[in-house]
Structure 1
């Protein structure tokens, strides 16, 4: 458990223990939210009073159904109205529909109660707290490990040192050491769920991935979301795993799955709300020339996607290695940028850029598993840059390390690992 302190989010969580804001940790099941909260509880100064309650346990939910009931629960666990700060840790709080108002009343009327809560469904959480906790909360999204965190969990100092020094390489086409390639391949194959990362052997990793999905189905889908057509839901997930990173045509997909378009959209929204995947929308300014409707869908963990594909082959043996590499880049961007919009760009003539990262400056990012440095690698990116008068673009591959200047436009080829390390 101690190793979770190496997670990049942990210092932020620890720092926010000292203010009054309600801390909300969201993310998929088994990503480490509960463990992080228990570690935060251990960080409390000697003598600080606290309580931990898991709302996944049905019998605990009655405590959160009313302010009076929750206060009685706190009193029984040592809370004193005139005492020092009392820390209340609530796991899977979205299971209690009325708890948002309870939290609001506690925050407004009991200033010495500090609430730290976690949940696995972003929509349920937003519905519970959007209005009631306005101005009273900080929300932190907890994702599977990124590659840097993965290396820390694996514990190899030599591999971590290689990672830290890749940016120093000068050759236009670089080659990674074999031992680094092996550890990267493991990450791209089995993903970044902490328990999977720490497990020994491929069979154990596969079994843990299966158990993660089984728990997800039991707790979030069957037990909480009340999916009416479970076979269609599972079929949809399997199809999306195959189509990962492709544009999604809702009409065609609904026919393939055998459900109404509205139901399909609800299912995909549910998959996003429960952190299985992420939807990104097109970037556009001209509806006549650019794609404006069809979104793309990316899984948030390559190990989970491979579970649905039933394919754990090493990267070089995969026909979808480009998709895996693109997903890796997307996942690292999501895990390491806060609130920056991410879109993709595509014209009706077929020109496409994988990712457009917004913010103060728009940055087009094209992903190539093995770049060549030639025009075919950056033609679409250059087209976007000219269309929007953006001076700099990035092409991320596994091996290329050079810059190309075309008139006033600069395109930087860099190993994807270099790029995400700087995020």
Structure 2
């Protein structure tokens, strides 16, 4: 069992230290429901700094620092942290602050998946001790499904992604309003938009200036956070096959993916069955590296048709050498997906599909059973205007919509075709809420 002197020192050091400067994230959590708050997301997406943000908000509301406990379970001084050490942690806190018994106390347990018996401890802290508990874990170790199973309805689950474009601008010191959109500040916004399209939104990458360093960081993320974590977690034996699958998925961003076609393409090189490949694809989704979007329609249609693949961060395409200037339309579509996914994390009733009829529309947003909007991404509309308009009108009629949004590089305007309003807007403006 860990010495209480060590646990007390860890508690006190966190309370006495200054909270770091941070970029405010747009994610909001509800503290008024009496449940533990679980925060998941890829490594390096900013989970720890979001905890600091919540701590800072509590302090601004008048919560004393002594009522806030932060424990990082990757602190080597408390490793390995065993099941019985949770009792020692609680005892150590109340020995430091006996006057806090019976008061609302906030425990922030960072990277808790590294510890044994954390689920039981969280239940006890939350229910018997009356402590508001926050837990975080990397997607590859503390997945949303596992939290739901382990804590059986005792948690509210939130997920954090890398920076959105709006958060990237905030990190760069640019607060966006109506004036900035129409002033010379617009040129700085467009400069960072180009950077976001190339290197994505991982906070560490955003804050680095050197292009080569950005690429090296992203490559290291792929090697260690994704490839290594998947191999360790799922005991993957054919590492080369997994690595090549990741590269294939990255190279086919925003494109239809058919498992059987991929299986035929690699079966001479890797004698793997389709079920094994499907498991590998599930792993990529579990760790939030890739996402697969289904065709809008009935279940049988969804099963018959290919899914479209998108990445958690568009920077990975650049980091693996697949980026060219011709890729901007592909990356733009992925960026739109990430913004829609961010909205779906805020509203659990939202679902994202693509439309496929005689023509295709990139995204159909559904809330419950109601189709809310259709979005087409056309980076250079002048090169494909007739085709894009035809597809948008077809989808609108089929989906019973009177409006379709078309996102472009810079064109802006509105047209009405056969009673359907086609709203054309620059992608960067849409990402900023304009």
| TM-score above 0.5, yes or no | yes
Asked if structure 2 preserves the Cα contact closer than 8 Å seen for 1:23 and 1:139, the reply is: yes
**2:284 corresponds to 1:242:** no
Query: Among 324, 331, 334, which residue is 1:324 paired with?
Result: 331
Tell me, in whole angstroms, the C-alpha distance in 1 between the residues paired with 2:278 and 2:247: 16
With over 3 angstroms needed to count, the CA separation of the structure-2 counterparts of 1:98 and 1:47, relative to structure 1, is closer
Asked if structure 2 preserves the Cα contact closer than 8 Å seen for 1:93 and 1:99, the reply is: yes
**2:273 corresponds to 1:260:** yes
**2:151 corresponds to 1:138:** no
- TM superposition shift of 1:310: 5.6
- TM superposition shift of 1:164: 4.7
Asked if structure 2 preserves the Cα contact closer than 8 Å seen for 1:3 and 1:153, the reply is: no
When the two chains are superposed, the root-mean-square deviation of aligned CA atoms in Å is 3.1
Correspondence for 1:114: 132
**2:52 corresponds to 1:33:** no
Larger CA deviation: 244-253 vs 133-142: 133-142
Secondary structure in structure 2 of the residue aligned to 1:138? strand
Correspondence for 2:6: none
Correspondence for 1:298: 310
Tell me, in whole angstroms, the C-alpha distance in 2 between the residues paired with 1:155 and 1:58: 34
The aligned length equals: 399
Query: Among 286, 303, 314, which residue is 1:273 paired with?
Result: 286
Aligned 1:367-386 pairs, distance under 5 A: 367-372=377-382, 374-386=385-397
Correspondence for 1:314: none
Secondary structure in structure 1 of the residue aligned to 2:107? strand
Aligned 1:70-89 pairs, distance under 5 A: 70-78=86-94, 82-89=101-108
Asked if structure 2 preserves the Cα contact closer than 8 Å seen for 1:88 and 1:115, the reply is: yes
**2:224 corresponds to 1:210:** no
With over 3 angstroms needed to count, the CA separation of the structure-2 counterparts of 1:97 and 1:387, relative to structure 1, is farther
Tell me, in whole angstroms, the C-alpha distance in 2 between the residues paired with 1:110 and 1:352: 55
With over 3 angstroms needed to count, the CA separation of the structure-2 counterparts of 1:142 and 1:85, relative to structure 1, is same
Asked if structure 2 preserves the Cα contact closer than 8 Å seen for 1:392 and 1:410, the reply is: yes
Aligned 1:336-375 pairs, distance under 5 A: 336-337=343-344, 338=346, 339=348, 340-347=350-357, 349=358, 351-359=359-367, 360-372=370-382, 374-375=385-386
- TM superposition shift of 1:401: 1.4
User: What does the per-residue CA deviation read over 1:308-360, in whole Å, with 9 as the maximum and x for residues that have no partner?
Assistant: 2364xxxxx5222210111122122222442321111213x5x2110001124
User: What does the per-residue CA deviation read over 1:267-326, in whole Å, with 9 as the maximum and x for residues that have no partner?
Assistant: 1211112121222111014957x8843211101211122212364xxxxx5222210111
User: What does the per-residue CA deviation read over 1:152-179, in whole Å, with 9 as the maximum and x for residues that have no partner?
Assistant: 112246xx4688526x9xxxxxx99655
- TM superposition shift of 1:124: 4.3
Secondary structure in structure 1 of the residue aligned to 2:151? coil
Secondary structure in structure 2 of the residue aligned to 1:309? coil
Asked if structure 2 preserves the Cα contact closer than 8 Å seen for 1:25 and 1:139, the reply is: yes
Tell me, in whole angstroms, the C-alpha distance in 2 between the residues paired with 1:295 and 1:387: 20
Q: Where in structure 1 are there 5+ consecutive unaligned residues?
A: 169-174, 312-316
Tell me, in whole angstroms, the C-alpha distance in 2 between the residues paired with 1:406 and 1:38: 50
- TM superposition shift of 1:225: 2.9
- TM superposition shift of 1:75: 1.3
Tell me, in whole angstroms, the C-alpha distance in 1 between the residues paired with 2:191 and 2:425: 20
Aligned 1:122-201 pairs, distance under 5 A: 124-156=142-174, 160=176, 164-165=180-181, 179-201=188-210
With over 3 angstroms needed to count, the CA separation of the structure-2 counterparts of 1:252 and 1:130, relative to structure 1, is same
- TM superposition shift of 1:122: 6.9
**2:429 corresponds to 1:411:** no
Tell me, in whole angstroms, the C-alpha distance in 2 between the residues paired with 1:124 and 1:2: 25
Tell me, in whole angstroms, the C-alpha distance in 2 between the residues paired with 1:2 and 1:152: 16
Asked if structure 1 preserves the Cα contact closer than 8 Å seen for 2:40 and 2:142, the reply is: no
- TM superposition shift of 1:60: 5.1
- TM superposition shift of 1:69: 4.2
Secondary structure in structure 2 of the residue aligned to 1:130? helix
User: What does the per-residue CA deviation read over 1:367-400, in whole Å, with 9 as the maximum and x for residues that have no partner?
Assistant: 0001138432221121122223222111111122
- TM superposition shift of 1:239: 0.6
Secondary structure in structure 2 of the residue aligned to 1:380? helix
Larger CA deviation: 70-79 vs 227-236: 70-79
**2:109 corresponds to 1:52:** no
Tell me, in whole angstroms, the C-alpha distance in 2 between the residues paired with 1:297 and 1:61: 39
Asked if structure 2 preserves the Cα contact closer than 8 Å seen for 1:100 and 1:128, the reply is: no
- Taking structure 2 as the reference length, the TM-score comes to 0.82
User: What does the per-residue CA deviation read over 1:29-77, in whole Å, with 9 as the maximum and x for residues that have no partner?
Assistant: 0011012223434544334234333344688576464xx5422222123
Larger CA deviation: 122-131 vs 294-303: 122-131
With over 3 angstroms needed to count, the CA separation of the structure-2 counterparts of 1:78 and 1:361, relative to structure 1, is same
Tell me, in whole angstroms, the C-alpha distance in 2 between the residues paired with 1:381 and 1:333: 18
Asked if structure 1 preserves the Cα contact closer than 8 Å seen for 2:140 and 2:287, the reply is: yes
Query: Among 18, 24, 28, which residue is 2:38 paired with?
Result: 24
- TM superposition shift of 1:260: 1.9
**2:413 corresponds to 1:395:** no
